[in-house]
Chain A
Amino acid sequence: MIIETKDLNKKFQSKQVLDHININIPKGSIFGLLGPNGAGKTTFIRLLTKIIEPDSGEILFEGKPLSMSDVYQMGYLPEERGLYKKMGVEEQLLFFASLKNIPNNQAKKAIKNWAEKFDLGKLLKKPAEELSKGMQQKVQLMASLLHNPKLLILDEPFSGFDPIHAQLLQEEIIALKEQGTSIVLSSHRMDTVEQLCDHLALINQGKVILDGELEEIQKAYSKQEWILEYDGELPQTNELFKIDCLKDSKEKRVLIKPIGKVSLNEMLAVLLNQGISIKSVKEQKPNMNTIFIEAVAQTQK
């Protein structure tokens, strides 16, 4: 594990912002940190980066208590981010690098490499205020990557990016993962979380309400609904299952939903008996959006 937290608690005034948080972030994974606004995600990230200290509990980095030198091995792209407007791009990147104790020469090389990758080479001498918002976002991301961090924490990294740049960022996140970087991704974009993350934790009102591998979670929330491609005439009514048309569906593609505890085999037997030819059956996995809404609603009951 790159990060393990044990019973983390944090209170602001009388409000318990984090309540006994136990989260394990596996090495080399993309870990999704989800939760509604004000759930405590940013506070959790600030604890990981030692911007604030927990009231109680412990954070382990690679099995040892988290220290400031570990924080220097992290890259952090906060949700609230910006640049010095009047300062040149390269100059401020060098400044950020020096705060991470990176020697000047090494930082210059890293800036050159990343600038080529992000197509920023010609803009390095310009003041940040002359860059478009998307370009500024790239510079901010560069600032968090210059020191080849072991752990990259991205808090709402896609906000402010247009679809093209968001796609580019998504590809870069996957590339970083392939290079062995562990990534914590906090985002409201459930589709992206679904596409990118292997593991996730859902925080609500300061508590972890869902935690684990993405597939496991989807399995736990599965309603045993199936997408069926067929040939022939489907029965109009049935006691074992309901048939829904899929919105985007071609003619011979429907969603079958069991009524009560009915297995797939039982449903298929009914259909086969009626002379329907089955081309394919695929499980309809619950999407993260549904899981998110359902899990949050459950805790609020």
Chain B
Amino acid sequence: MHKILIIAQREFLTRVRKKSFVIMTILSPLLLLVFYGVIFYLNIKKQAPDEPISVMVVDPTNLLNNSLPNEKTVFFKFAQDSAPNIENMLNVGQWDLVLEINHNKQQPLFNLYSLNNIGFLEKASISNALTQQIQQNKLIENGISPKLIQQINQMSVQLNAIQIKDHNAKANHSEMGALVGFIMAFVIYLFIFLYGVQVMKGAIEEKSSRIVEILVSSIKPTELMYGKILGIAGVGMTQFLIWVVVCLGLMGPLSGIIGELVQTNLETSLQSSAQVQNLTQNIGMEWLAELNLPFMFALFICYFIGGYLFYGALFAAVGAAVDNDTDTQQFMMPITMPLVFSLIYSQSIIGTNPDGVLTTFLSMLPFTSPVVMMVRIPYGVPTIELVTSLICLCAGFMMSVWFAGKIYSVGLLNYGNKTTYKTVWKMFRQRN
């Protein structure tokens, strides 16, 4: 154990002392902030374009009764001429688009002409306006009053999800909780990837610099591997804790700014203060209190460490088996696939049944449980399932450490040979 700690200490100190570590630890949250800030800014800016797109509508059969509701981004005008030269109209530059309606046959045809590519959102806005207008015309034709139609259009339903637990009815905000779970799952995914690869690179470095034989004459290869995994985990935890502290520090001033921006943005997009109030009430901080954050955080740490150990050992085995970085590609794929899959799958859990058979199975499997289970937890997972999942993860990392240890012991001293799956299998079976 003493020697494992010596190795871990070296791994930790050499990495933490690097300038790149200090720079990345400080820069990463800032870069992330800038990244999301830019997205947020662009989003807001897109909602309020400088000038709406102008569309000339050519409707010779008067299908729309000379009426089409203007959208925020699109402005319509009906042509007086029943057969104008469309190309000319566009070339003059007075109109961005020309919408031609052909109603000679039973089914009306709508053609949208432009000189440039038509944006997806503009197309959707125009289509939306057309549908709305045609529906409205049909309703009026069938004797429904325009006032009633307007009332119908403005109707909206607020659905309150209520969960009855232990004879108590409580509002259910699990979607927001799942979002927090997903963020945590994403951090686990990122951590496993970033630091798992570092474990692998560390093993390759020791192998390619031929230092490993000096080391293994003083320490067992498996101990060397444990020390490496432990030391790099320490680096990751340190970086993560610094980020948490920085984020908590920034949260106060930032939440004020974001809150203000969201409020302004919602008001412009929804155009009704009542709706804004309704919506902000819905996404209020009530859910945060219900979330049992300490419990989630404790589980996050468990899955964080368990997942890292499980994958870290596999990454270490790859590093020990190969001679250089290029040889790692073929072995990285099968290791990273379940990890990438679990993250993609997790996104689908938010909004669907979190207790489905496949989801439950994936939250037990050590390959996927660190990510999938984190997203399930806010929905409420039965204790038995949680315990089973953690036991499976524990057994999983013991297996992966045992497997990796065997590869590590043999692979580290195996130089100059091309590594294939066959050679890895031989390494696994070889008695050291």
Question: B42-58: contact bitstring with A at CB < 8 Å (1 yes, 0 no)?
Answer: 00000000000000000
> Which of chain A's residues have a CB closer than 8 A to the CB of B209?
82-85
> Which of chain B's residues have a CB closer than 8 A to the CB of A96?
214, 218
CB distance from A33 to the nearest CB of B (A): 16
Contact present for A74 and B214 (CB under 8 Å): no
CB distance from A54 to the nearest CB of B (A): 10
CB distance from B95 to the nearest CB of A (A): 65
Interface magnitude class on chain B: 20 to 34
Which residues of B (259-278) have their CB < 8 Å from a CB of A? none
The answer to whether the Cβ of A270 comes within 8 Å of any Cβ in the partner chain is: no
Contact present for B213 and A81 (CB under 8 Å): yes
Contact present for B14 and A99 (CB under 8 Å): no
Kindly state the separation between the CA atoms of A85 and B211 in the bound complex, as whole angstroms. 10
Contact present for A76 and B217 (CB under 8 Å): yes
CB distance from B401 to the nearest CB of A (A): 20
Main secondary structure of the interface of A (DSSP, over half): loop
How many residues of chain A get a CB closer than 8 Å to chain B's CBs?
30
The answer to whether the Cβ of A49 comes within 8 Å of any Cβ in the partner chain is: yes
Partner of B14, one of A50, A81, A87: A87
The answer to whether the Cβ of B3 comes within 8 Å of any Cβ in the partner chain is: yes
> Which of chain B's residues have a CB closer than 8 A to the CB of A87?
14
CB distance from B188 to the nearest CB of A (A): 29
Contact present for B219 and A99 (CB under 8 Å): yes
Question: B212-225: contact bitstring with A at CB < 8 Å (1 yes, 0 no)?
Answer: 01111111000000
The answer to whether the Cβ of B103 comes within 8 Å of any Cβ in the partner chain is: no
> Which of chain A's residues have a CB closer than 8 A to the CB of B3?
99
Contact present for B432 and A84 (CB under 8 Å): no
Question: A113-149: contact bitstring with B at CB < 8 Å (1 yes, 0 no)?
Answer: 0000000000000000000000000001001100000
The answer to whether the Cβ of A269 comes within 8 Å of any Cβ in the partner chain is: no
Contact present for A51 and B426 (CB under 8 Å): no
Which residues of B (31-88) have their CB < 8 Å from a CB of A? none
Interface residues of A (CB under 8 A from B): 12-13, 46, 49-53, 55, 71-72, 74, 76, 78, 80-87, 95-96, 98-100, 140, 143-144
9 contacts between A and B (CB under 8 A): A76-B213, A78-B217, A80-B210, A80-B415, A82-B210, A95-B10, A98-B6, A99-B6, A99-B219
Interface residues of B (CB under 8 A from A): 3, 6, 10, 14, 205, 209-211, 213-219, 413, 415, 426, 430-432
